[in-house]
Amino acid sequence: MNLTPMAEILNKANKENYAVGGFNINNLEFLQGIIEAAEESRAPLILQTSEGAMRYIGKDYVVGMVEAATKNASIPVALHLDHGSGFEKAMECIRLGYSSVMIDASHDPFEENIAQSAKVVEAAHSVGVSVEAELGQLGGTEDDVTVDEADATYTRPDEAVEFVARTGVDALAIAIGTAHGVYSGEPELDFERLEEINEKTDIPLVLHGASGVSDDDVRRAVQNGINKVNVNTDFQQAFTDRVKKIFAEDPEIYDPRKYCGPGREAIKERVKEKIEILGSKNKA
């Protein structure tokens, strides 16, 4: 696959103060909509699959589709495992050809999270693959990962410093008030905490659960050190809303191309808007 290590993409974003989309793919239409939008925006891109999406699509199909999508790509593209559940899953993705993996041991105690993350870093770096890990816990649901709001914990700046030093991760996902999935109220981001973590660490920081966060807050997060912004729900809603509209207008429709095609267009439009907000347009 014609892929770029995620660290290379994010280190440039870190130096030039913008963020790259970590955009989840759920099926072929997502992949096409996202890559077309990134190409037309001349934006670097991180395509990511959750373990749930890998099961849904099938891992060989993921690789085959991404291979086709990136064959003639003129922008840097990373393929990243989102919320990897352990060492074995990360190694499986590396063997499949992913250029980046996330190890999410954020639900484990601090020392255990460090041990698991460092183990993945050692193996991944030996073959040029980048690693993202998470410290602190977001509420909400992302496929297989569900965290009750009451169990969500914000990232502690001093722990972030120690975590980065002891693991050698390339990017750190932090918890500053966002949640995965659809918000029940208005999300409130802890920008002071973000600023402090950004001052104390020097690696790219990752914002998960960016769907439903206002454009202004996403921009402010990027100004304060976020270099990767994960979006999934927003694009799922864009696709589904467009399909619903088509069915409302023509309940007799039966050819999937007549609603999946417009759904793909809706994703593409939304991705282009996100790229503008993240500041990654024309950064390829």
Query: Of these, 135, 231, 238, 267, which contacts ligand 13P (CB under 6 A)?
Result: 231
Which of 233, 239, 264, 278 is in the footprint of ligand 13P by CB under 6 A?
A: 233
Confirm or reject binding of residue 12 to ligand 13P (CB under 6 A). no
- CA-to-CA dists, residue 263 to 41, 238, 267, angstroms: 19, 7, 6
**104 catalytic, yes or no?**
no
Least Å distance between CB 272 and ligand 13P?
17
Tell me which of 82, 104, 170, 217 is the catalytic residue.
82
Secondary structure (3-state) at 124: helix
- The least CB distance from residue 130 to ligand 13P, in Å, is 16
The span from the CA of 281 to the CA of 75, in Å, is 11
Q: Nearest CA to 260 among 274, 235, 276, 240?
A: 240
**Interaction residues for ligand 13P, span 147-206 (CB under 6 A):** 180-181
Only segment of 72-80, 126-134, 231-239, 258-266 that touches ligand 13P (CB under 6 A): 231-239
Size of the site for ligand 13P (CB under 6 A): 15
Q: In whole angstroms, how close is the CB of 251 to ligand 13P at the nearest point?
A: 29
104 binds ligand 13P (CB under 6 A): no
Residue selected from 230, 239, 243, 284 as contacting ligand 13P according to rule CB under 6 A: 230
Which residues lie closer than 8 Å to 44 by C-beta, 6 or more apart?
4, 9, 12, 13, 20, 38, 75, 76, 77, 280, 283, 284
Question: Between residues 182 and 253, which has the closer beta carbon with respect to ligand 13P?
Answer: 182
What strands lie across the sheet with 179-180, from one edge to the other? 145-147, 139-142, 179-180
Q: Max CA-CA distance within the chain?
A: 59
CA distance 84 to 51: 7
Which residues are 79's β-sheet partners? 47
Q: Which stretch binds ligand 13P (CB under 6 A): 66-74, 119-127, 197-205, 224-232?
A: 224-232
Three-state SS at 244: helix
Q: Find the part of the chain contacting ligand 13P (CB under 6 A) among 5-13, 88-96, 187-195, 226-234.
A: 226-234
| Positions marked active-site | 82
* Residue ranges that bind ligand 13P, judged by CB under 6 A: 24, 82-83, 142, 180-181, 208-211, 230-234
